[in-house]
Structure 1
Amino acid sequence: MAEMTYRTALVTGASSGLGRGLALWLAKHGLRVFATGRRLSQLQALAAEAQAAGATVEPVVMDVTHAEAAQERIRAIDAECGGLDLVIANAGVGGPTHGKRMDWDKARAIIDTNVTGAAATLCAVLPQMVERRRGHVVGISSLAGYRGLSGHAAYSASKAFLSTFLESLRVDLKGTGVGVTCVFPGFVKSELTAKNRFPMPFLMETEDAVELMGRAIFAGETEVSFPWQVSASMRVLKAMPNTLFDATARRLK
C-alpha cells in the first residue's frame, strides 16, 4: 500500500476499550473521526475529551448487528465527508459457548456482531474506495482466532472468519490503492476482558495497545499481533497437529 495522508476515519465499537482509544488516538493525529456505538452518553464523553485536546470526534449512534441500516449510515457519512479514508471494524462481543452447554442465543449474538456486523462495516464503502483508488479498511480480529479455543467456539470462529475475510480482501485489492490491515490483539484491559474469570497472561494497557495499532495502521502494515509473547505461543499452537493441540487445549482450558 502506498503511503497516504488520512483525513477521515470511522471506528465502530468506539464506546469503550480499544475502539474508544483508537478513535481518540486518530483524532489527536488530525483526523476527523466518526465514532460509532450503541451508547450515546459514552460517545459524547469521548467527543468532549477529544474537543478538549483540540481534536474532532463526531458521535454516531449505530448498531452493527442491524447490518443494512449500519451500511446505509456509513455510506451517508462517506458521502457527507467527501470520502472516508479509513474504516475500522472494531465492534465485537465475547462470552463462553462451550460445546457441552451450547447456548445458541449467545452464539448467534457473537456471530451477528463479530461476523455479520464486521463484514457489513468493511464492505459498506469498499466499492467507493476502489473507485477513488484511495482508502484503508481495518478489522480487529484476535489471537483467539488462530485456533478453536475450548469453551469459546463462537468467539474463536468469529475472529477466524474476520482474519480470513480480510486476507482475501488484501489479495483482491492489491494495486487498487486500497489497503487492508488485520489486527490480532491478545488480552487488553477493557470492559470485555474485565468480565473474564480466567488468567490473562501479558495483559496490556489499552493505551499501549492503541499506540501499537495506530502506528501499524499508518505504516500500512497488513497484519499486526500483540503482545509478542502470546502471539508467538499462538503461532506454535496453530502449527501443532490436531492430536497434540487437542491435548494441550484441554489442559489450558
Structure 2
Amino acid sequence: MDKLVFITGASSGIGQALAWRYHQAGWRLALAARRTAEIENWAREKGLPADRYAVYGADVADTGSIVAAGRACIERQGVPDAVIANAGISIGVDTAVREDIDVIGRTFATNNVGLAATFHPFVAAMAQRGSGALVGIGSVAAIRGLPGHGAYCASKAAVVAYCESLRGELRPSGVKVVTICPGYIATPLTAQNRYSMPFLMQPEDFADRAFRVIEAGDSYRVIPWQMGVVAKLLRVLPNWLYDKALAGRPRKHRQTQ
C-alpha cells in the first residue's frame, strides 16, 4: 500500500528528519510549514521525486491556516495514514515581564491549539476509514516544570494530557493516538540552550526510533529511553529536593535575548 504521512514543522529539525525517514520507508509525504521554500530546497537536495511529496504553506498558530492545509492535503493526496503534529516553539519566559505574557499565549497557540487544529481535518475521515495514527510530539519537559521555562513545560504537559484524552475518544474507531516525548535533540530549537543537555540525540536517530514507535502504535514513549528514566526519577523527587537540585540552573533564552 502506498502510505501517506502529513508532518507539520517539516522545514527543519525533527520534522525534516521524520520526513526523510518516512521517505526512506517508501511513504508519500505531505509536508507543512511556514517556510515552504526551505522544504522545496531540501527536497531538491535530497532528490525526492516530485510525485512523492507535496508542500503546504501553513502556520499552526493560525487555526484557519493549518486546517486549510489539512483539507488541501486530503483533496490533493488523500487521507493520510499518519499525521504528525510536530511544529512547536520554545521560548523562555518571565511572568514579571508584560511582553512575556504574550509569549505564553503564542506558545499555547502553537503547541496546543495548533496541535489540535492539525489533527482536526483528518479525525472524521480516519475514523470513517477505521485506521490511521495521530501523533503528538510532546517533550520530556512535560514531566516537571523548569525555572524560566514555564510556557514550554506547561504547553508540553498539555500535549500529553490532550493526546491521552483524544486516545480514549478515538479508541472505538480504530484510529490510534501516539504521544512521543523527545529528550534533548540537536535542532535549532535547542542550539541556543545555556544548560547541559544529557543524552543529546541527533535528529536522524530520533526520527528512526520515532518511526518505529509510530509503526508499532505505542500510546506513549519517551525517546531516548534514558531520558524516560531520568524523568520518572525527577517526578518522584519531593518538591524541596527538586527545587534545590535546580537552584542556579541557567534559564532558557527569552525572546529579547
Work out which of the residue numbers 156, 159, 164 in structure 1 matches 2:161: 164
Question: Is 1:91 the counterpart of 2:87 in the alignment?
Answer: yes
Distance 1:227 1:251, change over 3 A: farther
Q: Secondary structure at the match of 2:70?
A: helix
| Deviation by residue 1:89-119 (Cα, 9 ceiling, x = unmatched) | 0001101113444611222221121111111
TM-score (norm 2): 0.90
Determine the C-alpha separation between the residues in 1 that align with 2:63 and 2:139: 22
Count of aligned pairs between the two proteins: 249
Residues 12 and 88 of structure 1 are in contact (CA less than 8 Å); yes or no, is this contact kept in structure 2? yes
Matches within 5 A, 1:75-86: 75-86=71-82
Unaligned runs of 5+ in 2: 251-257
Q: Which residue of 2 aligns with 1:210?
A: 207
Aligned mates of 1:138, 1:72 — CA distance in 2: 19
Match of 2:39 in 1: 43
Structure 1 position 135 matched with structure 2 position 132: yes
> Shift of the alpha carbon at 1:246?
2.9
Other-structure match for 1:69: 65
Query: Per-residue deviation at 1:6?
Result: 6.5
- In structure 1, distance between residues paired with 2:180 and 2:161: 12
Structure 2 residue corresponding to 1:31, chosen from 23, 27, 32: 27
Partner of 1:17: 13
Asked if 1:241 corresponds to 2:246, the answer is: no
Summarize the Cα distance change of 1:73–1:55 in structure 2 as closer, same or farther, 3 Å threshold: closer
Aligned residue identity for 1:44: E
- The secondary structure found in structure 1 opposite 2:84 is strand
Q: Pick one of 227, 236, 247 that aligns with 1:250.
A: 247
Gaps of 5+ in 1: none
User: CA contact under 8 A between 1:47 and 1:56: conserved in structure 2?
Assistant: no
The alignment-based identity, stated in percent, is 35
d(CA) in 2 for partners of 1:124, 1:161: 21
Deviation at 1:177, TM superposition (A): 1.3
Post-superposition, which runs of at least 4 consecutive aligned residues in structure 1 deviate over 6 A? none
Q: Is the 8 A contact 2:89 2:111 kept in 1?
A: yes
TM-superposed deviation, 1:131: 1.4
